Copies of this chain bind each other. A is one copy, B any other.
């Protein structure tokens, strides 16, 4: 294990301390707990609160999207571990302004259990909570079983669109409708070529050959759909989109946003080589790209690999995607629509 850390068991605490110190103008902790992150500028005048949460090791996920135009709070777990329902509740209480709170989080059993419990506890404190569970990894369950799919990088689009809608002053039902609409318009497919070492475990999460890749691997190393020899980038992208595009399906005449997301160790240069091929394939199918995002949006510590998310836009989603946002990990000026 070759990492810039101190004691492995202090890793998450020290990371959060550094993060809150670096971004003290934008983020603070709730209830005196660094694992409960909230915006410093929550208006008490009131808008619907948006909360997320999840394990550490995925920056910018999850807390990196807390900020203006996106989320209001995030509960943080250990590396690849769900945060506790108590922490979720503290975040909920800190961000509720009387208009209710929407939970948006990825489909993992620990998170589902804890967020459900937190929602129940919040209800007992008279805070109305609704939930949207994001799951768009086409490799994790077949078409027809969408509810079993894991949530990965595509959750960025759900945060962005629901966050922009909440910032406009929409009510909880309307913000939830947008989260559902955005979530159902996105699909993601990933590929990995190297494992990740969780500090407290100290050894690789899986073994993969020096010349191998695994298509469809999850962001915690969950099994993918095919392991084989690493192919040239263009073939990898082709195989990913062959599986991804028919799933929604994305069709000629559609307008989409594309997110090519690095999992950690893969250089940005390689992500652009992949984007180039993805753009070529989409153009060949008559699908237009409105906005491309290329970079690290949902990682798995030092795993090498990337994912491609495709997000189908209509006028409503396009205008929400184009709205400005300002978080410690994602700043976007208003896009021209």
Q: Which of A's residues lie within 8 Å of B, judged by CB?
A: 2-7, 11-12, 14-19, 21-23, 25, 56-57, 59-60, 191, 193-194, 210-211, 230, 232-234, 236, 264-277, 279, 292, 294-296, 299, 301-302, 304, 306, 326, 329, 331-333, 336
Contacts and interface: CB of A to CB of B under 8 A. Distances in A.
A22 B289 CA distance: 9
B273 A14 contact: yes
17 contacts: A2-B193, A2-B194, A3-B270, A4-B266, A4-B306, A6-B234, A7-B232, A11-B269, A15-B270, A19-B275, A21-B276, A22-B272, A57-B269, A59-B269, A268-B296, A296-B296, A326-B333
A192 to B, nearest CB: 11
Residue in A18, A232, A294, A302 whose Cβ sees the most chain B Cβ within 10 Å: A18
A156 B301 CA distance: 25
Contacts of A233: 4-6, 14
A147 B215 CA distance: 49
Given A18-B272, A264-B267, 8 more contacts: A14-B233, A19-B275, A21-B276, A21-B292, A22-B272, A264-B265, A265-B265, A267-B301
Contacts of A275: 18-19, 21-22
A336 B25 contact: yes
Contacts of A25: 336
State the copy count for this chain: 2
A264 B304 CA distance: 11
Contact of A304 (B236, B294, B302): B302
B21 A273 contact: no
A272 B5 contact: no
Contacts of A331: 331-333
Contact of A230 (B2, B17, B294, B301): B2
A19 B17 CA distance: 35
4 nearest CB pairs, A to B: A18-B276, A18-B272, A265-B265, A22-B292
Given A233-B6, A331-B332, A15 B273 contact: yes
Contacts of A17: 276
A60 B22 contact: no
Contact of A22 (B57, B294, B329): B294
Contacts of A232: 5-7
A273 B18 contact: yes
Contacts of A14: 233, 272-273, 276
A14 B11 CA distance: 38
Contact of A23 (B4, B191, B292, B306): B292
A304 B4 CA distance: 10
A19 B272 CA distance: 6
A33 to B, nearest CB: 17
Nearest to A293: B22
A194 B6 CA distance: 19
